[in-house]
Structure 1
Amino acid sequence: MQTTDIGENAHGAGPFLVTNRLILSIAVPMTLGFLTTPLLGLVDTAVVGQLGQATMLAGLAIGAIVFDLIFTTFNFLRSATTGLVAQAFGRGDKTEEQAVFWRSLSIALVSGAASLLLSPLLLAAGLWLLAPGPDVAGVTRTYFEYRILAAPAALANYAILGFVLGRGQGTTGLLLQTLINGINIVLSIFLGLHLGWGVMGVALATAIGEVVGALVGFAIVVSRFDRRFAPSWKTIFSPERLKPLFGLNRDIMIRSFVLLAAFMLMTRIGTSFGPVTLAANSVLMTIFLVAGYYLDGLANAAEQLTGRAIGARFRPAFDRVLKMTVIWSFTLAGFTTIALLIFGDRLVDLLTTAPDVRQEAYAHMPWAAITALTGVLAFLMDGVFIGATWSRDMRNMMLLAFAGYIAALCLLVPLFGNHGLWAALNLFLLFRGLLLLALVPRRSAQAFLPAQ
């Protein structure tokens, strides 16, 4: 199966020209692809929301957070792969590109199998951390036990997508994301509503989508490998080669875990406000994800192109990527916030039929709407730092931002309740972006110093 990506083979290794067309050739397909993920969240929420029970929505929300705890912890499989492949691409090292893929895929399959074996303990830990009521916990347990079956495939998809993005193959990324989430959406509606399986049907749909996506993605990636540059197994698993990958993995895992902890803490605090507020926050968090995934396409363009620039040791490309993606990101974030402020309440109506949940969500919609603007710099800087493989800085700045988030929660939640909770989330997003941006001048000067 072959697709053609704009700009994929337009330039070889070494210096390259950064244009709007090149940026958008990666950003637009990946934006469309990533939008299928929150669309999936919207559909899952809507399917369960049609049951008209806040308990079912709350159980789905808790289940999704538990899986975020497991899978987002392994998000380094995507991020580290993207950065290392992009830099190898910039150097013209085709053997190392393939080697990074096989290393990441091996780690993904082993980690997925371990997650499946440890699933009873993982579920128990998740329920203990989030402390839902008995009825909500029962719904969460059903969702978890079916979705966890696809853990190896889900993590394999991280490695596959990381390789595709590292090569700048935006159209292929769109194809895979659309396939995974498209299958998931169709089966969620069919199994969850048509057959009446509810939460179990939604979980099975997710598992099936992951498995099909992993098989198709693997076939596409491997079929494109040039066998002349195939690495030996000794090269793939060389300790010298594995060391930088594991170093990146460690830092990005800590960063991802802290980010997830921030969202879990929000859910945990929301639980204390009762099932109606928890369900409303779940709906609004789905809308927040729409904004985040919408902007992630440009972050992915920044990942690939900054990594490629560093691999090629070409500072002008790095500077131009940073400038152009900042302009594009803030423009799109502004439009997203305006759209959510105007149409957000209608979107809530599509997601739940429960009147009490709707009213609670209406009251807090402005907070969800402005997350596009408060989070845009954090999303983009994540892309820059992943492409540059500045993982230690990502980790450290995330820890600082989290400390600021905790302080904001302690100050604002007692004073303003759920409004304070959402205000603290927006401050956390701002902290992340500004702290990372402050490091860019010094880190970029160090990265390109040998070439000057």
Structure 2
Amino acid sequence: MAEAGISRRAIFAQAWPIILGQALVPLVSVVDVAVIGRLSDGRNLAGVALGTTILNLVFWSFGFLRMGVTGITAQAHGAGDEPEICATILRSLALGLGLGVGLLVLSPGIVPLGLRLMAAPDGVGDAAHDFLTMRFIGAPAALSFYAINGWLLGLGRTRLALGVQTVMNGINIGLDLLFVGALGMGARGVGLGTTLAEYSALLGGMVAIALVLGPEWRDQLRSIGRARLLDRAAAARLIVVNADIMVRTLALLAIFTWFTRSAAALGPVPLAANHVLMQMVSISAFVLDGFAFTAEARVGAAIGARSRSSLLRAIRLTGEFSLGGALLFSLAILVLGDAAIAFLTHDAAIRAQAHAMLPYCAAVPLVGVASWLLDGIFIGAVAGAVLRNAAVVALGLYLLTDFAVKPLGAAGIWLALLASYAYRALALGWAMPALLRASR
């Protein structure tokens, strides 16, 4: 029998809405690539690839608004602290909205700086600029929704999170087809469609908060007094954890940014081919993150409830599901990868380059799954320092590896990326005994 109500069925019931919701995230990017790749040339596709990398580097620098909130909310939920659950979403929403407005104000300087740092090839920078300009308008909505999504996941309300995610991505896909396919707006249309979808997600997230808190949601939020909302210990914990996770996220984003920059240095064709392949990597990573997110909520709740048995079982069961999913995704990429490449782009040179790199792409789920799951475990434990240190170590070793294998060209770029996942998993695994000892 399952311990403390944690069974394989319970784990899967909590994970499947996250899996579907996560699968929709890269699906939007796949639609972006397919629309641009089939209706435009390789340079426009490369421009969207470059713009997406810069945007991810900036926006996901604030990914702590999702990850930190999940762990803190899960522990408050496990401890039965309802006022702290309400206070957490209010603090996090205020932080997300403020940071998003700041990014929007600073975007006229961030966009050209990012394009210069990424050494945009001739003809690619204009498309990337159009895409980024539109996307930064959605910064306040995007960062606020990070907080709402993290809060819902921390409470285990994965079906509500799926509902909001589905609405957002459905709107995004529809607007992409309208703005790019019908109106011919190119990269600017892709960015505008996503921005409008992000504001719809923020509205849907507000509705989700009200549904979670029940009919008296207004009274519950008003009952959180200023003293509780501005509690120094809680605020300090949120800031410290978020700062650690921010450093962790920046280090990981630096890896992917360097990966893209290395491909850009080889020319538009390798850059666009890698972006096509990264759609498959993104789908596998986002879907397998469903089990990592479940681990976040389960581990956080177990620690909040001080249940070592629940902690150990949550780690084991989510690990089983993660490994099985990674095997399936690697096999699927090997078998279906060529068909996916042909669907995403009509450019013969890009297709050939992507086909040559396909085996490396297929290896990513198997090599990366351990680091993704361990991330979830330590996020649930609110062990920000461990996450920070592991990511910094992985970044340093990745850069050394990338320089060492640079003579291998495009293959070396992928080998270094695979090594970065292994480095991070080893660094996080090194900290696991201490976490287990603390749970006693």
Q: Same fold (TM over 0.5)?
A: yes
Cα drift, residue 370 of structure 1: 1.1
Could you give the per-residue CA deviations for residues 380-405 of structure 1, whole angstroms, max 9, x where no partner exists? 01100000000100100111111211
Alpha-carbon separation, structure 1, partners of 2:44 and 2:373: 35
Any conservation in 1 of the 2:4–2:309 contact (CA below 8 Å)?
no
Alignment-derived partner of residue 344 in structure 1 = 337
1:390 equivalent in alignment to 2:378: no
Distance 2:225 2:8 in 1: 38
Partner of 1:5: none
2:266 to 260, 270, 273: 273
Partner residue of 2:67?
79
Shift of 1:173: 1.2
Encode CA deviations 1:94-129: one digit per residue, 9 max, x unaligned.
Answer: 000111111110000000000000001111221121
Question: In the alignment, is residue 116 of structure 1 matched against residue 116 of structure 2?
Answer: no
Greater shift in the superposed pair: 436-445 or 113-122: 436-445
Residue number in structure 1 paired with 2:149: 161
Match of 1:281, as an amino acid? Answer: N
Distance 1:234 1:58 in 2: 50
Counterpart of 2:93?
A: 105
Match of 1:94 among 68, 76, 82: 82
1:47-105: CA deviation from partner (whole Å, max 9, x where unpaired): 11013411101100111011101110000000010000000000000000111111110
Aligned residue type for 2:157 = Q
Task: Indicate the residue corresponding to 1:7 in structure 2.
Answer: none
**Under a length normalisation based on structure 2, what TM-score does the superposition of the two structures give?**
0.96
Confirm or deny that 1:25 pairs with 2:25.
no
Using the alignment, how far apart are the partners of 1:155 and 1:115 within structure 2? 10
With the length of structure 1 as denominator, give the TM-score of the two structures. 0.94
Distance 1:224 1:27 in 2: 18
Number of aligned residue pairs: 433
Indicate the SS of the match to 1:375.
helix
- Out of 167, 172, 191, the residue aligned to residue 179 of structure 1 is 167
What are the ranges of 5 or more consecutive residues in structure 2 without an aligned counterpart? none
Q: What is the aligned-residue RMSD (CA, Å)?
A: 1.2
Q: Which residue of 2 aligns with 1:242?
A: 235
Task: Give the conservation status (yes or no) of the 8 Å contact 2:86–2:220.
Answer: no
What is aligned with 2:292?
A: 299
Quick one: which of 143, 149, 152 aligns to 2:140? Answer: 152
**Contact 2:263–2:274 under 8 Å retained in 1:** yes
Q: Equivalents in 2 of 1:235, 1:70: separation in Å? A: 31
Q: 1:232 aligns with which of 225, 236, 239?
A: 225
Deviation string 1:266-291 (CA, Å, 9 cap, x unpaired) is: 11111111101111011111111011
Match of 2:425 among 428, 433, 447: 433
Shift of 1:351: 0.7
Unmatched tracts of structure 1, length 5 or more: 1-14
2:209 aligned to 205, 210, 221, which one?
A: 221
Deviation at 1:430, TM superposition (A): 1.3
Alpha-carbon offset, residue 434 of structure 1: 2.2
Secondary structure, in 3 states, of the residue corresponding to 1:92? Answer: coil
Question: Which residue of structure 1 aligns with residue 346 of structure 2?
Answer: 353
Q: Distance in 2 between matches of 1:400 and 1:142?
A: 35
| Alpha-carbon distance in structure 2 between the residues aligned to 1:236 and 1:286 | 40
User: Shift in Å at residue 240 of structure 1?
Assistant: 2.2
Given that 1:25 and 1:170 are in contact with CA atoms closer than 8 Å, whether structure 2 keeps it comes out as no
Task: Please say if residues 52 and 353 of structure 1, whose CA atoms lie closer than 8 Å, have aligned partners that are also in contact.
Answer: no
Distance in 1 separating the partners of 2:405 and 2:86 = 49
Residues 1:259 and 2:240 aligned together: no
